[in-house]
């Protein structure tokens, strides 16, 4: 346990560290990767180069330090991050490395202001926080391994089928190369794919939501090809998967992870709202809910640019055709002439509160949503202004987590 003096030092220095946040985390990653280049195999370089990941880790350490005397209150946050760490294969022996370079960076950036007392207090606090993560992750590794069809680390899967779902999204059906069973998962969970791409110095790991319902003999991921945009290079991994990976090839996957999952004990009407490729966990939830809860009202709401970019449409419509309680609602921001001719969409423009009120006829529903950050901000603000309680709103960011609640 930390002394009250140490806790006092921690709490009084958090604001200073936050003020220097970007410089500290930049320095932290630079020095850590210089000394441990093998860690470059673990981190997402796209997130790094956009600076997104650079603040997430240190911010959580600062936030946790503020709650150092009641760490149980941050356990939900720890669990969500621990799922990601477990899915990536982060190990206990890597925590002291992160601690060493984070402290070193604090020292470098604060200079003389970083007294021995301050550095000692932060070293102790980091040790306690790291132990919480290590313990939670140990439990998750054990659970992933002992589950039927489960495994620890990465396992070889063969691409049994590759199908284009739209002009930018392609699905991969993945079966264990060892012929064994696949572990069960909860709709909404993701897997990590680890790739050795020819010509790349490091391996790349990416998370993809499982897009089919549980209980199939395969896992399916549906991957959006991230084309180059001004100021943003094309996605190395998604481009490789789309252009190079074919049926019969082998990919390495970690076991399903994640806390953004459908509550199948909940009987309230269900609204599944997605934007773009954020629909992948939603399709899994839709199919699972329709199979397990045939009496549940489900509104499946999706925003796409236009028909060509609208993935898995038929699949969702098939579910709706099989159940009078399931309805589908399409919102296109830039419909094509043929979308107009065929009446392919229900709303033109963007998802907004007045439309949501039309397609979800009750405030008593449970809402799940996923998509690009601006989309998520809009949906979250709309639901809150409609008076939907926080506990009935669940969402997931793709990429490093952000906060909508502060948005």
User: Which residues are marked as active site?
Assistant: 95, 137
Query: Rule CB under 6 A: is residue 245 a binding residue for ligand HEM?
Result: no
**What distance in Å separates the CA atoms of residue 278 and residue 270, rounded to the nearest whole number?**
17
| Residue 43 CB, nearest approach to ligand HEM (Å) | 4
Interaction of residue 25 with ligand HEM, rule CB under 6 A:
no
Q: Residue 400, interface with ligand HEM (CB under 6 A)?
A: yes
Whole-angstrom distance, CA of residue 169 vs CA of residue 150: 28
Alpha-carbon distances of 123 from 2, 197, 230, rounded to whole Å:
11, 38, 42
Q: Identify which range of 35-43, 150-158, 316-324, 326-334 contacts ligand HEM by CB under 6 A.
A: 35-43
Q: Provide the minimum distance between the beta carbon of 59 and ligand HEM in the complex, in angstroms, as a whole number.
A: 7
Quote the least distance from Cβ 116 to ligand HEM, whole Å. Answer: 22
Per rule CB under 6 A, is residue 344 in the interface with ligand HEM? no
Which 55-94 residues touch ligand HEM, going by CB under 6 A? 56-57, 60-61, 81, 84-85, 88, 90, 94
Beta carbon of residue 163, minimum distance to ligand HEM (angstroms, whole number): 27
String marking each residue 132-171 x if it binds ligand HEM according to CB under 6 A: -x--------------------------------------
List the x/- string, 97-136, binding to ligand HEM by CB under 6 A: -x------------------------------xx--x---
Residue 128 vs 353, nearer CB to ligand HEM: 128
Measured from the CB of residue 57, what is the shortest distance to ligand HEM in angstroms? 4
**Site residue total, ligand HEM (CB under 6 A):** 23
The single residue among 41, 47, 147, 336 that binds ligand HEM, judged by CB under 6 A, is: 47
User: Shortest Cβ distance from residue 96 to ligand HEM (Å)?
Assistant: 8
Give CA–CA dist 309/220, Å, rounded: 19
Residue 341: closest CA among 382, 307, 389: 307
274-313 residues near ligand HEM, rule: CB under 6 A: none
Contact positions vs ligand HEM (CB under 6 A)? 39, 42-44, 47, 53, 56-57, 60-61, 81, 84-85, 88, 90, 94-95, 98, 129-130, 133, 400-401
């Amino acid at each position: 346990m930390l002394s009250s003096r140490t806790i006092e030092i921690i709490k009084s220095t958090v604001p200073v560290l936050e003020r220097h946040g970007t410089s500290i985390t930049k320095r932290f990653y630079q020095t850590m990767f210089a000394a441990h280049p093998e860690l470059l195999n673990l981190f997402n370089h796209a997130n790094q180069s956009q600076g997104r990941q650079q603040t997430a880790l240190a911010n959580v350490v600062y936030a946790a330090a503020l709650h150092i005397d009641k760490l149980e209150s941050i356990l939900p946050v720890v669990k969500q991050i621990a799922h990601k760490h477990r899915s990536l294969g982060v190990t206990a022996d890597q925590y002291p490395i992160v601690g060493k370079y984070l402290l070193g960076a604090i020292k470098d950036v604060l200079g003389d202001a970083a007294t021995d007392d301050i550095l000692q207090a932060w070293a102790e606090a980091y040790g306690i926080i790291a132990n919480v993560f290590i313990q939670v992750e140990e439990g998750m590794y054990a659970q992933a391994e002992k589950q039927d069809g489960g495994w620890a680390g990465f396992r070889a899967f063969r691409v049994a089928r590759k199908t284009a779902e739209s002009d930018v999204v392609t699905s991969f059906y993945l079966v264990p190369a060892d012929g064994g069973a696949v572990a069960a998962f909860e709709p909404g969970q993701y897997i990590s794919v680890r790739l050795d791409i020819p010509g790349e110095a490091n391996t790349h790991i990416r998370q993809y939501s499982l897009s089919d319902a549980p209980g199939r003999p395969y896992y399916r991921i549906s991957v959006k090809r991230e084309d180059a945009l001004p100021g943003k290079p094309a996605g190395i991994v998604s481009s490789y998967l789309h252009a190079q990976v074919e049926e019969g090839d082998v990919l390495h996957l970690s076991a399903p992870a994640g806390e953004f999952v459908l509550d199948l004990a909940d009987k309230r009407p269900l609204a599944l709202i997605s934007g773009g490729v954020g629909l992948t966990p939603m399709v899994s939830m839709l199919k699972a809910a329709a199979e397990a809860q045939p009496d549940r009202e489900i509104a499946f709401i999706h925003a796409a640019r236009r028909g060509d970019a609208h993935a898995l449409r038929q699949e969702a419509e098939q579910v709706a055709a099989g159940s009078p309680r399931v309805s589908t609602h399409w919102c296109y921001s830039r419909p094509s002439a043929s979308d107009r001719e065929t009446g392919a969409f229900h709303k033109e423009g963007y998802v907004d509160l007045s439309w949501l009120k039309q397609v979800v006829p009750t405030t008593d529903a449970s809402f799940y949503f996923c998509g690009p950050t601006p989309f998520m901000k809009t949906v979250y603000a709309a639901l809150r202004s409609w008076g939907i309680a926080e506990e009935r709103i669940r969402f997931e960011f793709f990429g490093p987590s952000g906060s909508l609640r502060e948005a």
